[in-house]
Chains A and B, each alone.
Chain A
Amino acid sequence: MTASIVNCQQITKRYGDKHALDELNVSIPENKIVGILGPNGSGKSTFFRMITGLVKPDSGEIEVLGKRPGSGINREIAYLPDRARWYPNHTVAGAFEWAEKLLPGFDIANAKELADFMEMKRDMRVSGMSRGQEARLMLILCMARNVPLIILDEPFSGIDVISRERIIEGMIDYLSDRDQTILISTHEIYEVEGMFDYAIFLNQGKAILSGDTEELRAQYGSMHDIFRQFYRYGKGGF
C-alpha cells in the first residue's frame, strides 16, 4: 500500500449556485507523476487552489502531506498556477538568482540542469521570449525546488509542439532519479499521457475514474480514449 500525499473526502465548493467541486473524493499516491484530467470547468484549478490553501472547502475534509492546507505547508509545495507570467526585464539567469533568494527549497544547480534539458539559454530575456519559452522558464522555477509536491496547472496549454516536446523530455530526464509527486492538469492528453503513472479524471467537480495508468489502459484503453468517452456520454460513461 502506497502512502497518499493528498486525501480528500466529500469536498464541496460552490460559487453561487455552481458546484466547482461536488463531494469530491480523491486519494493521490505519493512519488508519482499524476495526470489530473478533465475538460475546462471540471474543477481542476479549484482543486489545486484548495491543495495550496487559496480556497477553502464549503464542506468536507482535505489533507495534504498529512496536514491541513495553508501557509504551514506551502513551503513544501511548488505551485505553477494557470497563466502564470514572469517579470519581462529579467533574464533566465536573473530569474534563477531571484528564485534562489525567495523560493523555499529552490536549488539553482537543479535549475541549471533543467535549463540544459529544456534548451534555455541563461542570457535570454523574458521580454523576448515566445510563449513556449516563457512557459519553460516558469516550469523550471517550479520543478527545481526540492519539495515533496509539485503542482502544474495546464503547463502545456497554448504552447507550440517543439516547446511541449522539450518540456516532456526535460521532465522525463530530470525525474528519472527523484522522489517527488507531480500533479499535472491538462486537457490536451494525446502527446503527454505516456509520462503519467496515475490518472484522475474529473468531470463536473467529481472524480469519475482514477487509477494506475497501465491498469486503466488494460481495462479501458488510452487516457485519450477515456477522455473522449466523457464528451460522448456527457456525464461520464463509467
Chain B
Amino acid sequence: MDIRQVGALTFQLDFSQPLYEQILEQIRSALAKGEIGLGEKIPSVREMAHALKINPNTVMRAYKELERDGLTEKRRGQGTFVTTSEERVKTFRAELVKEYIDDFLNKMESLGYSWEDIEGYMQERGSRRKGSDLT
C-alpha cells in the first residue's frame, strides 16, 4: 500500500485493485468529511497523475465521474473545483448514509438476523459506546 500526498489530499493506492475506483472513493470521502471545502480547487489531472505516478487517463476517468455526479465542476481555463452547492454535498452525505446502512443490513440479514435482532444489537452497542464516551 503506497501513501501519497497531493496538496491537501492524501491517497492510499493499492495496485491490486482498480486505481480509478480508489481515487474516486478517496476524493468523495474527503468531500463528505469536509476535508476539502465547497468551491475549493482540486489538483489538475496532470498534478494528480504526477504526484501519484499513475497514468493521466486513470485520473481523468475518476474526475469525469465526480463531475457527472455534480460533486465537482470544471471552469474553463481555471481547472476543476468542488461544487459550491451545500445542498449537493448534503444529498451526497445522505446517499452515503443510505449506502452504509444498506450494506450493514444486507450483511446482518445474510447471517440470518431479523430486524428485531438487529435493533436489539444496535441499542446494546449504542449504549455501550455512549458509556465509553463518559469514562
A218 and B19: CB pair below 8 A?
Answer: no
Q: Is the interface of B mostly helix, strand, loop or mixed?
A: helix
- Residues of A near B45 (CB, < 8 A) are 176
A175 and B56: CB pair below 8 A?
Answer: yes
- Selected contact of A218 from candidates B17, B50, B52, B54, CB within 8 Å: B17
The chain B residue sitting closest to A216, CB to CB, is: B18
The B-contacting residues of A in range 64-116, CB under 8 angstroms, are none
- Residues of A near B13 (CB, < 8 A) are 194
B58 and A214: CB pair below 8 A?
Answer: yes
A197 and B17: CB pair below 8 A?
Answer: no
The A-contacting residues of B in range 23-69, CB under 8 angstroms, are 45-46, 49-50, 52-58
A224 to B17, CA, bound (A): 12
Q: What is the distance, in angstroms, from A16's C-beta to the closest C-beta of chain B?
A: 39
B15 and A193: CB pair below 8 A?
Answer: yes
Interface of A toward B, CB cutoff 8 Å: 32-33, 165, 168-169, 172-173, 175-176, 191, 193-197, 213-215, 217-218, 221-225
Interface of B toward A, CB cutoff 8 Å: 13, 15-20, 45-46, 49-50, 52-58
10 A-B pairs with the lowest CB-CB distances in the bound complex, closest first:
A194-B54, A222-B15, A221-B16, A222-B16, A176-B46, A214-B18, A176-B56, A172-B49, A217-B18, A218-B18
